[in-house]
């Protein structure tokens, strides 16, 4: 498993990460977004969705609906899940997540609520604010990538290693 660590200086850098991750996203790809409240999980997800679905004018966080679905340009469904409010993996099964993990691309906030339902092939992203200050937009990100993601993550590491990114 490859591990990449990034320092994201501001919201624009977080958005660039989301836009980069949208490249090549396909059915069966799962991106698990970990981090505390306010870490930037929704901002990263929104940037990815906006890149894949530019016709969407409103990309709300699925905090209350638990899931928002979109269609990528090739017709593949894209599920954005916020599992903060679920109590157990059984609650996620009622949402239809088992089929989505196979047939859709999935962005999952609070994936720890799924326990063993997450596939081994998922890309795990831990996002942590650097400062306790509400004004700070700096984030430290650690990406754990299984073999399925290795080429994309290698390209990502090279892109974010450039000083102008």
Helix (H) or strand (E) holding 33: strand 30-34
List the domain range (segments joined by +) for residue 94: 2-161
Task: Please report the pLDDT score of residue 20 as a whole number.
Answer: 93
Which residues have C-beta within 8 Å of that of residue 145, sequence separation ≥ 6? 1, 2, 3, 4, 123, 124, 152, 153
DSSP result, 34-89: E--TTSSHHHHHHHHHHHH-TT-S----TTTTSEEEEE-TTS-EEEEEE-TT--SH
DSSP 114: G
Distance, CA of 3 to chain centre: 16
More reliable by pLDDT, 70 or 57 = 70
Reply yes or no on whether the pLDDT at 30 is more than 50: yes
Provide the pLDDT for residue 162.
59
Task: Return the pLDDT at 134.
Answer: 56
How many CB atoms sit inside 10 A of residue 16's CB? 18
3-state class (DSSP) for residue 140: strand
Q: Is the pLDDT of residue 80 over 50?
A: yes
The CATH number of the domain where 69 resides is what?
3.40.50.300
How many C-beta atoms lie closer than 10 Å to residue 127's C-beta? 23
* pLDDT, tens only, 91-122: 888 888 999 999 999 999 999 999 889 999 99
User: What's the pLDDT score for residue 165?
Assistant: 44
> Which residues fall within 8 angstroms of residue 131, CB to CB, at 6 or more apart?
138
**Residue 135: which pLDDT band, with cuts at 50, 70 and 90?**
low
Based on the structure, what is the number of domains in the chain?
1
Q: What is the pTM of this model?
A: 0.91
| Residue 61 CA from chain centroid, whole number | 12
Please state which of the ranges 15-24, 64-73, 78-87, 153-162 shows the lowest mean pLDDT. Answer: 153-162
Task: Work out the pLDDT band at 163, boundaries 50, 70, 90.
Answer: low
């Amino acid at each position: 498993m490859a591990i990449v660590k990034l320092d994201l200086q501001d919201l624009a850098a977080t958005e660039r990460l989301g836009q980069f991750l949208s490249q090549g996203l396909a059915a069966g790809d799962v991106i698990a977004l970990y981090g505390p409240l306010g870490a930037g999980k929704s901002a990263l997800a929104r940037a990815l969705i906006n890149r894949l679905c530019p016709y969407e004018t409103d990309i709300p966080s699925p905090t209350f609906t638990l899931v928002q679905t979109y269609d990528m340009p090739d017709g593949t469904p894209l599920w954005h899940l916020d599992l903060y409010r679920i109590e157990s993996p059984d609650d996620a099964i009622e949402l239809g997540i088992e089929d989505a993990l196979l047939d859709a691309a999935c962005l999952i906030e609070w994936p720890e609520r799924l326990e063993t339902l997450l596939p081994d092939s998922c890309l795990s992203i831990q996002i942590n604010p650097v400062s306790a200050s509400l004004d700070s937009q700096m984030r430290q990100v650690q990406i754990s990538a299984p073999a399925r993601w290795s080429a994309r993550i290698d390209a990502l590491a090279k892109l974010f290693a450039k000083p102008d990114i």
